[in-house]
């Protein structure tokens, strides 16, 4: 039986390299998903241009100049609902989502963050990790709640901090891991049985779920 490709929306604000990695994974058959919408809140986002060149369905919903945060979110929601997306992947989307928005897609929104959460949520995290003197950093894919980088963790990858690292070199090595992790984590959620217990995302046998097939 071939698995149905789950429709997903990818929300970006800038470069879009994680969007590209997800797209590549779908094209190469490593991720049973199809991108039905790439949405940016920034018109000049490089990722949106790339998505267009790939012939993907795109939308720009500018947050700057929007009447209110709520009004902006309503427009974003409309785009997502019209696209038929069942999962939403935040990939460098620089907006916090409201409780109402998150509640509209319960446990169906993912985010990728360039640190080992719960260390270093927020912005400029590679510099914060270096300033703190950590020896290991990395990246995290997590389900999104209304907090800042705070939802249940789906997957993580560790990256060693090297003695000569600056924020840019560390960010580059973490980004390479992000590109693999995002597709892996989403793929697990789409293909394995899982459930949430407290803050933990439990998969398959550890979740006590018997496979039906």
Instruction: Enumerate binding residues for ligand GRF (CB under 6 A).
Output: 12, 14-18, 47, 91-92, 112-114, 175, 178
Question: 50 catalytic, yes or no?
Answer: no
Find the shortest distance in angstroms from Cβ 138 to ligand GRF.
11
Instruction: State the Cα–Cα distance between residues 208 and 202, nearest whole angstrom.
Output: 9
Question: Residue 118: is the preceding peptide bond cis (ω within 30°)?
Answer: yes
Of all residues in the shown chain, the one whose CB is closest to ligand GRF is 92
State the Cα–Cα distance between residues 165 and 26, nearest whole angstrom.
33
Q: Do residues 158 and 140 lie in contact, with contact meaning Cβ atoms separated by under 8 Å?
A: no
Distance, CA of 144 to CA of 98 (rounded, Å): 10
Q: Which of 24, 137, 36 is nearest to 89 (CA)?
A: 36
Q: What's the closest the beta carbon of residue 209 comes to ligand GRF, in angstroms?
A: 30
Q: Which of 190, 24, 207 is nearest to 110 (CA)?
A: 190
With respect to ligand GRF, which residue has the nearer C-beta, 83 or 111? Answer: 111
In the bound state with ligand GRF, the residue whose beta carbon lies nearer, of 51 and 189, is 51
Nearer to ligand GRF, 36 or 174 (CB): 174
Output the smallest distance, CB 12 to ligand GRF, in A. Answer: 6
The residue annotated as part of the active site, out of 23, 72, 113, 142, is 113
- By annotation, the residues acting in catalysis are 113
């Amino acid at each position: 039986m071939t698995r149905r490709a789950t429709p997903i929306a990818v929300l970006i604000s800038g470069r879009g390299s994680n969007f590209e990695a997800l797209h590549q994974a779908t094209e190469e058959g490593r991720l049973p998903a199809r991108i039905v919408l790439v949405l940016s809140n920034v018109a000049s986002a490089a990722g949106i241009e790339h998505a267009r060149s790939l012939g993907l369905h795109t939308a720009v919903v500018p947050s700057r100049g929007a009447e209110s945060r709520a009004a902006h979110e309503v427009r974003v929601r409309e785009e997502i609902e019209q696209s038929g997306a069942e999962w939403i992947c935040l990939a460098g989307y620089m907006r916090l989502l409201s409780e109402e928005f998150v509640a509209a897609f319960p446990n169906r929104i993912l985010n990728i963050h360039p640190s080992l959460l719960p260390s270093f949520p927020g912005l400029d995290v590679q510099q914060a990790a270096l300033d703190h003197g950590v020896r290991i950093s990395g990246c995290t894919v997590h389900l999104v709640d209304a907090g800042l980088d705070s939802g249940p963790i789906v997957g993580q990858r560790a990256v060693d901090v090297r003695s000569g690292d600056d924020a840019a070199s560390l960010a580059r090595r973490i980004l390479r891991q992000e590109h693999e992790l995002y597709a892996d984590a989403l793929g697990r959620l789409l293909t394995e049985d899982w459930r949430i217990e407290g803050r933990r995302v439990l998969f398959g046998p550890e979740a006590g779920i018997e496979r039906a097939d």
